[in-house]
Structure 1
């Protein structure tokens, strides 16, 4: 039997189902620059396509029949309730490899109890950027200084490394102290504070203020926080094949197309969809629009099929056919943003969408819908200077003339020109960060060296 010191070394990455894709990209980034130690990914998600750069270990997510009222709470609760399955998996891995560290998705923060008991150094991976890491670390401070529910605050918060953020921009599920999600977020914050380090999906040139706040302990009361490693932006390597919209883009003028796409959960009412159509038509600009069936129409549409003739204003498709394309549901977003014909991106400001816009130097028009997207939108506009905001009513409704004006502003005005220039600079900065001597590769090297010290 081999002695432990003779075993190969592995890094374990433990992910919730919802963050598995971004964790896989982290694994590939590590493997590209450091083929040793090996990598082992543990998750309850179905196995991804075989990749020789890592070993995949699936664990069961079967839990007792406990009512869990919302999706976000479930993402925290399932790892907590299946800690024994994780323990079994880690013990199985340790029979064949020496585990140098475990990198944990913050939804899986409860894994720290297991890894600590097994003397495995614990790191966290924050996929939503430096701002996400700051909010997590600083949230216990917000909890102490805010009396009552955050939703009732109606004031601007001073958060290290942030521009002024209004309390209404915080994720709605963190607004109520009594919710289990709120308590999970607090507990996750404390575990991250106790960890050996934090890997973050961002890069120095974009979030230098965030890095300063994190590295200098501005986010924690005692001024001592874990080392932070900016290793991004990490973006999924998907391929769209021969999607019809890519062929259509080939026929459009350079930087002429405004692309509208709002993610998996970006559903609008039929009234809002019609308003978007009016704004696009009145703008006179070329556009590519990914449309999903409104919630109130999905029950009457087989498999969520979008009836464009019923949904859009009368004659819209015919009037705009020479300069616009409307596609139903899914769009190959990364491939579209990389196309030379795309000149602006109307986005919900999910972090992956922001990273893809950065990668290809595309200015943004920010239309946040849910979760951390409102914070992200504020950062894109106020901190990164890479986009324009959309003014919305209290219920989130955006008028046609508001969309039209922002499209014209980003494509015609001096402000738009400045944003386009800034986006080009960030595109170059993204490429530089990923070079062998770039900041993100250097951060990864520091992380790997830290494992050798443990």
Structure 2
């Protein structure tokens, strides 16, 4: 399906945190493939960050709008030894985004002067920035949920004091508590955003019926968002990674981890990565290092601290690898590689040598892993991750839990880590999870092709906004 609409413009408004920037940048690429101009709005710093970390994908058709923020008070990163892993250092940045309201309104107003309709897609955690858009005569807003529908559904049901349906999926009776998932400062920020969500004309979800069909049905049945039309159009990320055969230069530009993976057999390597919002304690780094070593499995370990509000500030200290056991890298040489900077996670997961993923279960990472058919060892740290981990392990059956959320204040021992890695990578149980993950990946790939369920929903959204 191809639609040429020079009189329609789409504006993307992401939350300035990597997992959110990334999702809306991939969605921008999907919508621009319909020959619709897409404008990506953010701070100068975070637009640069988004482009840098999506380095291997063509962004030439997107229009980036760089806005500045006035100086805001920053807070130090959380103590690595604290059981609270939420990246509190970026909360002041979230509050500072209120200053994007006027520049965004001016941009949309300008686009409205040239386009028949301007469609603003915004992260639901940026609702206050777009609050003026619905008052413009030819503009409309759609909010985007960056987390699983399972997370959203269970959250809203609890807030409303409603019981889950008795005949609903059993996993609804096994959800972990929201305690410890977010600090009070974030809830303060979120409750401000909730006030403006009603200004929207519809909702977009980065999921699909292949993954969360039952929860999408329950979500709609409960009327949690009233009569708002909803589209489940995920995964936004590519589900196929083309091989870089174009030139020697492009192959040289591949990340070091990909060259390393080229030398290992299929499904023989476990990726270890906790995203951009987690900082491990020194003690936990040592236990993880020891568990990886004792497992005798091959691994790619992305060992870095959580992002600061500005990753280019020079204050981002990713040298936690200084806390590795003495002589560690020598001992694991050839069997493991440690990456101390940004790593192309989607490309690593897509590599045939990758057969497992130790992950914090951020929704971005879950969707990428499911897209590439890689089973997970779920180790949630904060936010939506505890419930995502239950969805992955107890509902979809494509992973194991490293640690229950109720035991989050405990250091995970090297013995537990070793056992989880061996189970995932070298047992019939792990092989069955890999088979299920491969089947899910195949179903996802079919869903985004012409005639597939996800593609139909995306086509439906495009038809709706170009009506």
Shift in CA distance, 357/450, structure 1 to aligned 2, threshold 3 Å: same
Are residues 193 and 96 of structure 1, via their aligned partners in 2, closer, same or farther at CA, if it must alter by over 3 Å?
closer
Correspondence 1:124 to 2:140: no
The equivalent of 1:3 in structure 2 is: none
1: distance between equivalents of 2:374 and 2:158? Answer: 34
Q: Which runs of 5+ in 1 are unaligned?
A: 1-5, 147-156, 296-300
Query: Within 5 A, what are the aligned runs for 1:12-411?
Result: 12-18=11-17, 19-32=20-33, 34-36=34-36, 38-46=37-45, 47=47, 51-62=59-70, 70-71=88-89, 73-74=91-92, 76-119=94-137, 120-134=139-153, 138-139=155-156, 142-145=158-161, 158=164, 163-164=172-173, 166=175, 168-169=177-178, 172-173=181-182, 176=184, 179=185, 181-189=186-194, 191-193=196-198, 195-219=200-224, 224-235=226-237, 241-292=253-304, 304=317, 306=319, 311-391=323-403, 393-411=407-425
The question of 1:427 aligning with 2:428 is answered: no
Paired residues of 1:266 and 1:369 also in contact (CA < 8 A): yes
Query: Cα 1:241–1:334, aligned 2, differ >3 Å: closer, same or farther?
Result: farther
Structure with the bigger RCO (C-alpha within 8 Å, sep 6+) is 2
Q: 1:167–1:380: structure 2 CA closer, same or farther, 3 Å change rule?
A: closer
Give the deviation of 1:436 after TM superposition. Answer: 1.7
Residue 232 of structure 1, CA deviation: 1.2
Residues 8, 119 of structure 2: 8 Å contact kept? no
Q: 1:166 to 1:266 in 2, by over 3 A?
A: same
- Taking the aligned partners of 1:325 and 1:56, their CA distance within structure 2 comes to 35
Q: Is the CA contact 2:148–2:206 (under 8 Å) kept in the aligned structure 1?
A: yes
Q: Describe the shift of the 1:125–1:411 C-alpha distance in structure 2 as closer, same or farther (beyond 3 A).
A: same
Most deviating of 397-406 and 38-47: 38-47
Shift of 1:20: 3.0
With the length of structure 2 as denominator, give the TM-score of the two structures.
0.79
Q: Which has the larger radius of gyration?
A: 1
- Per the TM alignment, residue 71 of structure 1 is displaced from its structure 2 partner at its CA by 4.9
Q: Residue 325 of structure 1: SS of its match in structure 2?
A: strand
Matches of 1:382 and 1:225, distance apart in 2: 31
Structure 2 stretches lacking a partner, 5+ long: 52-57, 77-87, 243-249, 308-313
Matched position secondary structure for 1:259: strand
Q: 1:257 to 1:452 in 2, by over 3 A?
A: closer
Distance 2:374 2:300 in 1: 14
The 2-side partners of 1:371 and 1:86 are apart by 28
Superposed displacement of residue 403, structure 1: 0.8
RMSD: 3.4
CA shift, 1:66, in A, is 7.7
Give the Cα separation in 1 of the matches to 2:198 and 2:389. 26
> What TM-score results when the alignment is normalised by the length of structure 1?
0.81
Q: Equivalents in 1 of 2:115, 2:141: separation in Å?
A: 17
Aligned residues: 419
Partners of 2:442 and 2:195 lie apart in 1 by: 36
User: C-alpha offsets along residues 228-278 of structure 1, whole Å, 9 cap, x if unaligned?
Assistant: 111111127899933332222222222111221112233212211111122
Query: What secondary structure does 1:122 align onto?
Result: strand
Distance 2:43 2:318 in 1: 30
Aligned residues of 1:192 and 1:198 also touching (Cα < 8 A): no
Q: CA deviation at 1:331?
A: 2.6
> 3-state SS of the aligned residue for 2:302?
strand
Partners of 1:256 and 1:97 lie apart in 2 by: 52
Map Cα deviations across residues 270-314 of structure 1 (whole Å, 9 max, x no partner).
21111112211221222222223799xxxxx99736375x53334
TM-aligned CA distance change 1:88 to 1:330, over 3 Å: closer
**Structure 1 residue 329, shift from structure 2 partner:** 3.5
Which is worse superposed, 101-110 or 44-53?
44-53
Taking the aligned partners of 2:364 and 2:144, their CA distance within structure 1 comes to 15
| SS state at 1:121 partner | strand
Contact 2:101–2:130, Cα closer than 8 Å, also in 1 = no
Deviation at 1:173, TM superposition (A): 2.4
Distance 1:415 1:193 in 2: 46
Report which stretch shifted further, 420-429 or 9-18: 9-18
CA apart distance, 1:195: 2.2
Contact 1:215 1:227 in 2 (8 A): no
Q: Distance in 1 between matches of 2:304 and 2:73?
A: 33
**Paired position in structure 1 for 2:457:** 443
